[in-house]
Amino acid sequence: MAETTATEALGHGTESRRGFLTMLTGAASAVAAGAIVWPLIDALNPDAQSEASARMIVDAADIAENTAKTVQWAGLPIYIRKLTAKQIADAQAVMTSTLPDPAEFTERVPAGYQNYVVVVGLNTGTPCALEGNDPADPRGDYDGWLCPCDGSMYDPLGRVRSGPAKTNLAIPRFKFINAAQLQFG
Amino acid sequence: MTMELKHSWAGERMPWLGGLCACLFAPVFKPGSKYLDTLPGLIAVALAFLTFSGVVLAVYYDPWHAFASVQFIDRDVHNGWLVHAYHATGTTALFGLLYLYLFRAMVTRGYRAPGELVWALGVKLLAVLLLVGWLGFVLTGGAAAYWSLFKASNGALALSGAPGAIGNWFFGGTAGGNALARLEVFHALLALAALVVVGVLFSARGAVAPKAEPGKGVAFFPYYLSQYLVALAVFALIFSVLAFFAPHFGQPRVNALPADPLTLPVAVALPWYLLPLAGVAGALPGIWGGILGVVGALAVLAALPWLDRSGPSGPKGGLYGFLTWVLALDVVGLGVSCSPLLTGLFTLWYFFHFLVLTPVVTAMEAK
């Protein structure tokens, strides 16, 4: 009984040979169709130019202490700020539980590069570009950023300290690829 | 299987599904069809393929920077060069298949009753696709494309009255981004129209296809499906060779340069599939001569079933068969001829063949 089944499975009957050929043709057709269609689908992925700008690399070495540089990424103004030793000490001394939107120092700065703060430079209350990137700009009472539209104030880590705004500045997706460059996306 | 599907969940809710399966599995087709009978099927496949690759190209194409956007597609889009090659070679393949299909119908005289409508639809498909093909060529924004569009749009805009108004409406100005922006839409729209023509051609062809005697027919599945798959495999092989080894086949070389309104190429060059018709159009003087040439050449081709006086079952004459091959050479000559005198002679022969030789010789041979 077992022998008969094995013989049939080997393809001596016309039925199984036809089945095998059908399967072979179907498989070859599926592979061919896939190979033809794949470039068409792949071409609809973001092109090289969009991909490059979505994973933009920014030079951070030219930022002076106590100033921030503005770059545009994903349609947003991004502020990259280099902190002074005093700002770091002040920020670490703050009792986070007293803040409107509590966040630890380490949550606001990139690991290993704790003298940099990278935030989306839009006020979280009324959406306005914040002032305070240049030391000469009005910075509010906390030496951070000031919203010219509704008067919300932020500290150098981008934590909201006063004003109509209730949440901290958003932090974009990024990482330092070396001491001088960071990459978004 | 048909019955199963008719009474299945989907079949009860969509009766056409059962009908479709009945078509696939019913043993009604005459066995022994030729491989070349798959040409309309291959034309449909090529057209669908062009539609898909065209959709992808349309995502990135920018009529205001036509040439640069084609370069962008070739360089910056994932597999963009391949999609571009698909579209360019697909065009060559489509016209190759279509010219072959029409020529075969002429040689086998399949255009005679009851196949007149199928023949006329085939010529209509050729007319629509020639326009689509020209528009696609113009969209490349190359030097040859620019001057071809410049000549056509300037000629059309110079017309007075209703033709001029139509020209204005169609081109929306001379060769530039403004014209290309709308020609891109017309290119896509007319390509869909061509798909509709193919659909109508299929139904008309099915209606006049010879039916098998009862009990002697075969079903489409798997009998003719395997024939289609073999034809498709051969087609795919030729297509791949063209796409990968000759991606610019039949394209004028000067079109590899960007359009420059201040530099006129020595001669206006066209892709290979437009050359015969352009030869006829160029042989007659003036813009009206060109229009008359294009319309006339296609009209006499469409009128072939009625110009052939041998009747539906008349004998296939050797002389007329020979003349059909001469006509093919004449059309090739129209495409490759560089001298105005030769082009004129070829044009004259083209119309002479259809309007004089066809009725006379077929009537003579039918006696």
Residue A110 lies in a domain: yes
Residue A125 lies in a domain: yes
Instruction: Return the structure tokens found at A102.
Output: 């509590």
Say if residues B198 and B9 touch (Cβ distance below 8 Å): no
- Mean pLDDT within B192-221: 89
pLDDT at position B262 is 85
Taking only residues 15 to 34 of chain A, the set having a beta carbon closer than 8 angstroms to any beta carbon of chain B reads: 22, 25, 29, 32
Which CATH number goes with the domain that contains A69? 2.102.10.10
Residue A77 lies in a domain: yes
Q: How confident is the model at residue A3 (pLDDT cuts 50, 70, 90)?
A: very low
CA B126 distance to own-chain centroid: 4
Residues A66, A30, single domain; the answer is: no
Domain boundaries, position A18: 2-42
Give the alpha-carbon dihedral of B335, B338, B341, B343, to 10 degrees.
Answer: 10
Q: How confident is the model at residue A14 (pLDDT cuts 50, 70, 90)?
A: low
Chain A partners of B221 at a C-beta cutoff of 8 Å? none
Chain A partners of B222 at a C-beta cutoff of 8 Å? 22
- Mean pLDDT within B67-90: 95
| Cα distances (Å, whole numbers) of residue A165 to A142, A147, A149, A169 | 15, 9, 11, 10
- Mean pLDDT within B96-101: 97
Q: Under DSSP, is residue B335 helix (H, G, I), strand (E, B) or coil?
A: helix
Residue B109's nearest CA partner among B343, B323, B346 is B323
Say if residues A123 and A137 touch (Cβ distance below 8 Å): no
Task: Tell me if chain B has a CB within 8 Å of the CB of A14.
Answer: no
Residues A115, A95, single domain; the answer is: yes
Residue B279's nearest CA partner among B332, B319, B208, B212 is B332
Say if residues B259 and B138 touch (Cβ distance below 8 Å): no
Residues A87, A24, single domain; the answer is: no
- Mean pLDDT within B162-190: 89
Overall number of domains in chain A: 2
Instruction: Note whether A43 contacts B229, CB cutoff 8 Å.
Output: no
CA distance A161 to B50: 60
- Mean pLDDT within A100-106: 90
CA distance A48 to B60: 12
Q: How confident is the model at residue A30 (pLDDT cuts 50, 70, 90)?
A: very high
- Beginning with the edge strand found earlier in the chain, give each strand of the sheet holding A76-82 in spatial order: A68-73, A76-82, A116-120
CB atoms within 10 A of CB A116: 18
Residues A88, A126, single domain; the answer is: yes
Residues A66, A38, single domain; the answer is: no
Say if residues B153 and B174 touch (Cβ distance below 8 Å): yes
DSSP characters over B252-264: -GGGGSBP-TT--
Give the alpha-carbon dihedral of B155, B159, B162, B165, to 10 degrees.
Answer: 60
Task: Tell me if chain B has a CB within 8 Å of the CB of A35.
Answer: no
Paired strand residues for A184: A174
The whole-angstrom distance between B74's CA and the closest CA on chain A is 11
The whole-angstrom distance between B53's CA and the closest CA on chain A is 7
Instruction: Note whether A47 contacts B60, CB cutoff 8 Å.
Output: yes
Taking only residues 100 to 159 of chain B, the set having a beta carbon closer than 8 angstroms to any beta carbon of chain A reads: none
CB atoms within 10 A of CB A175: 13
Mind listing the pLDDT tens digit for each residue in A61-87? 999 999 999 999 989 999 999 999 999
pLDDT at position B271 is 94
The whole-angstrom distance between A14's CA and the closest CA on chain B is 15
Q: Which amino acid is at B340?
A: P
CA distance B359 to B310: 8
pLDDT at position B3 is 58
Residues A89, A179, single domain; the answer is: yes
Residues A62, A27, single domain; the answer is: no
Mind listing the pLDDT tens digit for each residue in B280-321? 998 888 888 999 999 999 999 999 999 998 887 777 788 999
Chain B partners of A49 at a C-beta cutoff of 8 Å? 72, 76
Chain B partners of A30 at a C-beta cutoff of 8 Å? none
Instruction: Note whether B56 contacts A47, CB cutoff 8 Å.
Output: no
Any idea which of A120-124, A169-173, B6-10, B156-160 has the lowest mean pLDDT?
Answer: B6-10
| Cα distances (Å, whole numbers) of residue B180 to B69, B134, B276 | 13, 12, 25
Task: Tell me if chain A has a CB within 8 Å of the CB of B240.
Answer: no
How many beta-carbon pairs under 8 angstroms link A with B?
44
Chain B partners of A44 at a C-beta cutoff of 8 Å? 56, 59
Interface test with A, best of B61, B71, B77 (most A CBs within 10 A): B77
Evaluate if residue A1 carries a pLDDT over 50: no
The secondary structure element, H or E, covering residue A182 is: strand A181-184
As a residue count, chain B comes to 367
Residues A56, A34, single domain; the answer is: no
Residue B362's nearest CA partner among B321, B302, B303 is B321
Evaluate if residue A104 carries a pLDDT over 60: yes
Residues A70, A155, single domain; the answer is: yes
Say if residues B239 and B89 touch (Cβ distance below 8 Å): yes
Residues A37, A108, single domain; the answer is: no
H helices of chain B, in order, are: 2-6, 9-13, 15-25, 39-60, 66-76, 80-108, 116-139, 143-158, 161-171, 177-208, 225-245, 275-283, 286-302, 304-307, 318-336, 340-352, 358-366
Residues A58, A37, single domain; the answer is: no
pLDDT at position A58 is 93
Instruction: Note whether A44 contacts B59, CB cutoff 8 Å.
Output: yes
Nearest CA in chain B to A22: B222
Phi-psi region of B248 (alpha: psi -120 to 50; beta: other; left: phi over 0): alpha
Evaluate if residue A10 carries a pLDDT over 60: no
Residue A7 lies in a domain: yes
Nearest CA in chain A to B76: A48
Give the strand pairing for A145-146 and A153-154: antiparallel
Paired strand residues for A57: A183
Chain A partners of B68 at a C-beta cutoff of 8 Å? none
Instruction: Please return the burial class of B206, using the count of CB atoms within 10 Å of its CB with bins 0-12, 13-18 and 19+.
Output: exposed
Taking only residues 153 to 182 of chain B, the set having a beta carbon closer than 8 angstroms to any beta carbon of chain A reads: none
Paired strand residues for A69: A80
pTM for this entry: 0.86
Taking only residues 49 to 108 of chain B, the set having a beta carbon closer than 8 angstroms to any beta carbon of chain A reads: 49, 52-53, 56, 59-60, 72, 75-80, 82-83, 86
Residue A100 lies in a domain: yes
Residue A47 lies in a domain: no
Return mean pLDDT, chain B: 90
Residue A155 lies in a domain: yes
Residue A164 lies in a domain: yes
Domains and CATH numbers, chain B: 25-258 (1.20.810.10), 271-367 (no CATH)
Any idea which of A119-128, B82-91, B93-102, B206-215 has the lowest mean pLDDT?
Answer: B206-215
Residues A89, A175, single domain; the answer is: yes
